[in-house]
């Protein structure tokens, strides 16, 4: 009987811990107009997902959006947008980092940033 009671208590503890972890995360859909191909998508996802506090990154080059989820205690939406900009892509109102953008292959330098109008 003690064994069964212990298993039930442990199970409830794990379930409540899982719900507590879910509440500590946040998620946003960010406009990323410069992501226009599979190569851009992979470059952005790889760079942003390697940053501290980032849980998931899914770029959609057809919709020109990137969905990011992160741990609230480790980062915030402004830092997420900064990571995207550091990867060379505009993120809502945050402009892409020019030096990173300039290193993109010519095919990936689309005319969505002010750098291309210079």
Q: Which residues of 91-109 are buried (b: 16+ CB within 10 A; e: fewer)?
A: bbebebbeeebeebeeebb
What residue ranges do the domains of the chain occupy?
A: 25-112
- The domain made up of 25-112 has a fold known as Alpha-Beta Plaits (3.30.70)
Facing residues of 29 across strands?
Answer: 67
Q: Using CA atoms, how far apart are residues 21 and 73, in angstroms rounded to an integer?
A: 11
pLDDT, tens digit, 9 for 90 and up, residues 25-83: 999 999 999 998 999 999 999 999 999 999 999 999 999 999 999 999 999 999 999 99
pLDDT value at position 18? 58
Q: What is the reported pTM?
A: 0.74
Residue 14 has pLDDT above 80, yes or no: no
In terms of Cβ atoms closer than 10 Å to its own Cβ (0-12, 13-18, 19+), residue 88 is buried
């Amino acid at each position: 009987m003690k064994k069964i009671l212990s298993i039930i208590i442990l199970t409830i503890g794990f379930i409540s811990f899982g719900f507590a972890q879910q509440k500590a995360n946040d998620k946003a859909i960010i406009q990323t107009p410069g992501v226009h191909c599979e190569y851009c998508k992979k470059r952005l996802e790889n760079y942003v997902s390697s940053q501290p506090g980032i849980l998931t990154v899914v770029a959609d080059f057809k919709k020109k959006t990137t969905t990011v989820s992160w741990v609230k205690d480790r980062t915030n939406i402004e830092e997420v947008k900064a990571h995207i900009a550091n990867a060379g892509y505009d993120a809502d109102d945050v402009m892409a980092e020019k030096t990173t953008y300039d290193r993109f292959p010519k095919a990936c330098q689309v005319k969505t940033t002010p750098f291309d109008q210079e």
